Structure 1
Amino acid sequence: MTAQAPNERIPSQWEEITAADSTHSTRYVERFRSMRADGKDIVGEARLIDAMLGRGGRVLDAGCGPGRLGGYLHDVGHVVVGVDVDPVLIAAAEEDHPGPTWLVGDLSELDLPARGVEANFDVIVSAGNVMAFLAPPTRHAVLSGFARHLAPSGRVVIGFGAGRGYEFPEFLADAAASGLEADLLLSTWDLRPFKDNSEFLVAVFSRA
């Protein structure tokens, strides 16, 4: 393994996967298109976010993928910006869910005002195990970026599964060090309480 240059960008685990398999992103897109066509519920996370907002809330879908959550939240009346590092997924979001602002970008370098987008979001949501796909050295930068882009009374909602290389206590410590205070810990997107043996975490944060 070659040493990382001092200012060299560190690719996410998702980017490493797609670099090794050029069809991975396309198959990921088609998987959710097929699920939607079959009538499966693929927006449960978005319904929770919708319940946290009045109409016209500003939402950052961080690691938006092909737009399944941001598209739903736009359709029910919110202003949505979606960011993902994968241009194939962003292209699918633009095709399937016109309306939100979809941007290709690295969450560890998040600076939306520099791209002409207001930073004060009412909710920042990161679902789909996005946190587990980050390169470990970039986790703190990503969480700090969320804190910077949050409205004073806004909330950050992050969900991911156990056994993916990012232990829940470590994640919560990183969030606290990044300026986020945990308000609520759940084990599912349908509001079941988090327990020590939970296999999934949905954490709701506000600014510390």
Structure 2
Amino acid sequence: MTGRQDRWAELTGGQAGEQYARRFARLAESGHDIHGEAAFCAALVEPPARVLDAGCGTGRIAIRLAGLGYRCTGVDIDASMLAVARREAPAQEWILGDLARTDTLGLEPEFDVVLAAGNVIPLLAAGTE
């Protein structure tokens, strides 16, 4: 685990994944559309396009897109988030890693869409964990 991953786990208590998943489950149960980002991606490219979900969290978007026929890879620095993603979609590719160091992730170089939803981009700068 990198220093950034250690710091992130310290800040979130290592339990962010389950809490985040419950939050979105409650939103869905109350009638909120939780698939807007996936719909946006689907409007850009057709299946079986390759999608990199950068900062995928619990995999909500990648799982939805995979269900529509897209080939998705999710990357996140938070092991607790990826634990939820792996539980929900074990056959999908989930990578624990730091997006600020994509050269160390072993990613294939070509994706049709790179998605960085939510607050991912600001967290890529040093010291913003």
Instruction: State the TM-score, normalized to the length of structure 1.
Output: 0.53
Structure 1 alignment gaps of length 5 or more: 1-8, 139-164, 166-208
1:75 corresponding residue in structure 2:
67
Q: Is the 8 A contact 2:17 2:84 kept in 1?
A: no
Q: Distance in 1 between matches of 2:39 and 2:91?
A: 18
State the distance in 2 between where 1:132 and 1:93 align.
22
Match of 1:94 among 71, 86, 89: 86
8 Å CA contact 2:51–2:72 kept in 1: the answer is: yes
Measured in 2, the distance between the counterparts of 1:48 and 1:29 equals 21
1:11 counterpart = 2:4:
yes
Q: In the alignment, is the contact (CA less than 8 A) between 1:60 and 1:123 conserved in 2?
A: yes
1:105 aligns with 2:97: yes
Instruction: Considering fraction of residues, name the structure with more strand.
Output: 1
Q: CA RMSD in A?
A: 2.4
Change (3 A) 1:41 1:67: same
1:129 to 113, 119, 124: 119
The 2-side partners of 1:108 and 1:20 are apart by 18
Q: Which stretch of the first structure deviates more once superposed, 27-36 or 64-73?
A: 27-36
User: For residue 53 of structure 1, what is the aligned residue in structure 2?
Assistant: 45
**Pair 21,56 (structure 1): closer, same or farther in 2 beyond 3 Å:** closer
Larger Rg computed on CA atoms: 1
Q: 2-side partners of 1:35 and 1:98: how far apart?
A: 24
Pairs aligned (count): 125
User: Residue 141 of structure 1 corresponds to which residue in structure 2?
Assistant: none
Q: CA deviation at 1:96?
A: 1.9
Structure showing greater relative contact order (alpha-carbon pairs closer than 8 Å, 6 or more residues apart): 2
Bigger helix fraction = 2
Partners in 1 of 2:10 and 2:116 — Cα distance? 23
> More displaced, 21-30 or 69-78?
21-30
Residue pair 1:74, 1:99 contacting (<8 A) in 2 also: no
Normalised TM-score (structure 2)? 0.82
Matched-pair identity in %: 34
Greater than 6 Å deviation, 4+ residue runs: none
Aligned partners of 1:97, 1:36: CA distance in 2, in Å? 18
